[in-house]
Structure 1
């Protein structure tokens, strides 16, 4: 590898990451004291871009560093003494020759990482060469000065890359790490071999299980690892798979997916224990007749369910007796979810409620077709159709392709905000209770800021929970209100709320965690009851544009309004839902610096059961006082006060007051007028009762306060 060489490797994570990028290593952040990637796609997000690296470590300066091996043109030899790695390494060096002097790391658990140049054309390798010695080719290595999650000790260079050359992989070692190859057998032969050597069938099962673990969303990986170990040890018992190879590959896949090594080893051991005594062998192949078009490309036999997904494919019998793959949405969904080239490329974003690309799909030959990325778009279906037409000879219809892509994405559901929040680690410094004062210049210490942050966490971790309030940031135009909300929300900020009277308002919430209502525009001209109803919704119900079915989606966002008006509330009965804060000078730099810690503390408070709403009479009274100060003056109010002060009746009907006090003739009185009058009377302390003084008892009256 040739690159500019920094004079030293710093011991500050950001500076070290920048130095590695100068050397040509592609880096990405790991959680503090963790091997778990802090980016959505793990080592697939690795880069040498200095601006992106600075942005990552600005989010959390304590992030560890991961190095993507393949794209950094590195083969890593990972020696773990806790699993017999030193003994295995000594045996291997006796058989294959000593490893050359090259770049080396002493891990935080007294292990060893040896960096060697990746030979051109090497794309696959064994996961392990024996107990405690793993091969890192399509994964990543933890780099200094990261901190080991179990020991708390730092990784350290013993031969740093800035002063030592990365050696080539010796030929004998290259031959040893190449995956096993076998001669193609006749269809009726399983190709099973024993004596500790894995069969073709067993290796395929192992590869599929490791790929399935890699594609499992956070929260389900440990359970998936246990299932994989349970299934694979049955093949070990049946003579299809070497146990040490299965153990090492599963452990490598677990660590690459973000699980801890100690936890993974225990889970694998548990799965092996439970699965023993149930030997399983490769089934005889049926020799399904091939077809020139629409048939599945030649593949290795696959194990029983859940690996044998091909059994679910539907075929069409031709006139000559041959069979071809049926052109159905179900078949395409199975191929997208399980075919090696496509597996793990699609997932379902539960916040945006859309299928999304989580890995790069296989490229189409030639130029001109942009590889899809981001959320699924209609044009992406054309790309999928073209790929399968080239490789399978089948042109799936556009609607079938859209249905298949959405169905395949369901196998990998994830929630980006939940993943973000679960990945945070609080440093123990309390900021949440006073964050509005610290970062937004609020003169008054108020519980509103803490309530709102915890409510946002609650809505992310428990979508659909009751949150019916709006944080109102008051301040001068251009002071930084919107910028502050954008910083807090990150990629999940929505700056415009649609019309709350129809589905546009609901659909504008998709993919959003924090929704700004700029100048409260979305509420202008709306009845108070409509606003209250919208804010109180726990489930958003709508029929998507061009969709056939209604969608019921638990709401996962919170709202914040911004305004430079002093009086903007018009209905006292709904004012409790508006939490006003008068802001001052904003510290946006500090807010961006401490954002992750604010959310980390809010997660901590949420897990402790801290309320995100007022409970005591004092808290309710405080909000009522704040709302009272923001109520807009109604031109009727003064006329009404004068009239009531000069008329001493104990009670009035709405019609009487509209006619006599406000000069609204009976033929012009509307329901809105009655509601407006009622709101004013309630502000003045009057209460509504049924008449008990000789009038028709079905008539409501307003009674003077005592």
Structure 2
């Protein structure tokens, strides 16, 4: 970064503009008490040529002094103040998180806000951004700021608050991400439980397949009763539940006999309108 040395607070604007240029900071004139550039190409016309700067401010002695951000100059964190709120609270959080320790200067703006200067690294260009919810903007490559002792819209000036000698570049991406955390991952809403007969039988078969020795036959009987109650044919139950029962170690002839018994029980119960008795809970269904 070029040497950051501010002119005297009482310096006239032409002298202050020359001061910046002599210290290696490119400057350009802006409309007095405003931020609009007065040169044809705006901040792209900024120069350290003392002769050009003197010529500009002879023509426009009350012009505000603009300095491009980025390059080998400065990057600036802009703490805004609006009727709806300001960025000082968010900046305090950044300080607590040690994300803005390397500032070179703090400048009070005419609105009551603050510009926080950091040395720019030409090998690490950082683009402008704004986090409007936090009332904080960043001015890097392609931006510019108005500098002391320029005037604002009223009679107040841009004023140097503090300077610090051991400055370092700001990691503006970390600051932006801290102020504007990434949105939480989108979580798909849970799917409605499939109540189709096929889906119910798949869940019942899964229940059968999880059984251990000592409970296999009883679980298969309960499961076959539930399938029968769905009015599905017995062959369907043999195909769906029989394979699950075999995976638990139940012999095929035992599985076939249990399923047939379950279907006969459900059929008889419907004929007599009787309760088939207690059944094991449908775990996981």
TM-score for both structures, normalised by structure 2: 0.55
Q: Deviations over 1:308-344 (max 9, x none)?
A: xxxxxxxxxxxxxxxxxxxxxxxxxxxxxxxxxxxxx
1:167 aligns with 2:171: no
Indicate which of 127, 133, 137 corresponds to 1:134.
137
Q: Which residue of 1 aligns with 2:283?
A: none
Counterpart CA distance in 2 for 1:141 and 1:25 is: 12
8 Å Cα contact 1:143-1:155 kept in structure 2: yes
Cα deviation for residue 23 of structure 1 reads 1.9
Indicate which of 141, 152, 155 corresponds to 1:152.
155
8 Å Cα contact 2:99-2:175 kept in structure 1: no
8 Å Cα contact 1:126-1:177 kept in structure 2: no
Q: Which residue of 2 aligns with 1:100?
A: 102
Alignment CA distance shift 1:76-1:2 (3 Å): closer
Q: Which residue of 2 aligns with 1:26?
A: 26
Cα deviation for residue 8 of structure 1 reads 4.3
Indicate which of 143, 146, 161 corresponds to 2:147.
143
TM-score for both structures, normalised by structure 1: 0.23
Alignment CA distance shift 1:112-1:42 (3 Å): same
Gapped regions of structure 2 (runs ≥ 5): 186-285
Gapped regions of structure 1 (runs ≥ 5): 179-193, 198-706
1:46 aligns with 2:50: no
Q: Which residue of 2 aligns with 1:89?
A: 91
Cα deviation for residue 154 of structure 1 reads 0.9
Counterpart CA distance in 2 for 1:71 and 1:25 is: 10
Q: Which residue of 2 aligns with 1:119?
A: 121
Cα deviation for residue 72 of structure 1 reads 4.5
Q: Deviations over 1:587-626 (max 9, x none)?
A: xxxxxxxxxxxxxxxxxxxxxxxxxxxxxxxxxxxxxxxx
Counterpart of 1:78 in 2: which secondary structure?
strand
Cα deviation for residue 121 of structure 1 reads 2.5
Counterpart CA distance in 1 for 2:184 and 2:36 is: 33
Counterpart CA distance in 2 for 1:105 and 1:4 is: 13
8 Å Cα contact 2:68-2:143 kept in structure 1: yes
Counterpart CA distance in 1 for 2:96 and 2:102 is: 13
What does 1:578-593 align with in structure 2 at a 5 Å threshold?
A: none
Q: Deviations over 1:82-120 (max 9, x none)?
A: 242112212333334453352121111111111101134
Q: Which residue of 2 aligns with 1:74?
A: 74
Q: Deviations over 1:562-595 (max 9, x none)?
A: xxxxxxxxxxxxxxxxxxxxxxxxxxxxxxxxxx
What does 1:202-281 align with in structure 2 at a 5 Å threshold?
A: none
Counterpart of 1:144 in 2: which secondary structure?
coil
Counterpart CA distance in 2 for 1:90 and 1:6 is: 25
8 Å Cα contact 1:117-1:166 kept in structure 2: no
Counterpart CA distance in 2 for 1:5 and 1:143 is: 12
Alignment CA distance shift 1:5-1:91 (3 Å): closer
Indicate which of 94, 109, 112 corresponds to 2:111.
109
What does 1:227-376 align with in structure 2 at a 5 Å threshold?
A: none
Q: Which residue of 1 aligns with 2:210?
A: none
> May I ask how many residue pairs the two structures share in their alignment?
177
**RCO higher in 1 or 2 (8 Å CA, sep ≥ 6)?**
2
Counterpart CA distance in 2 for 1:3 and 1:65 is: 17
Counterpart CA distance in 2 for 1:134 and 1:8 is: 27
Counterpart of 2:34 in 1: which secondary structure?
coil
Alignment CA distance shift 1:4-1:36 (3 Å): closer
8 Å Cα contact 1:28-1:47 kept in structure 2: yes
Counterpart of 2:97 in 1: which secondary structure?
helix
Cα deviation for residue 40 of structure 1 reads 1.0
Counterpart CA distance in 2 for 1:144 and 1:54 is: 17
Counterpart CA distance in 2 for 1:72 and 1:139 is: 13
Q: Deviations over 1:610-656 (max 9, x none)?
A: xxxxxxxxxxxxxxxxxxxxxxxxxxxxxxxxxxxxxxxxxxxxxxx
Rg larger in structure = 2
8 Å Cα contact 2:118-2:170 kept in structure 1: no
Cα deviation for residue 71 of structure 1 reads 3.5
Counterpart of 1:168 in 2: which secondary structure?
coil
Counterpart CA distance in 1 for 2:86 and 2:4 is: 37
Cα deviation for residue 9 of structure 1 reads 5.8
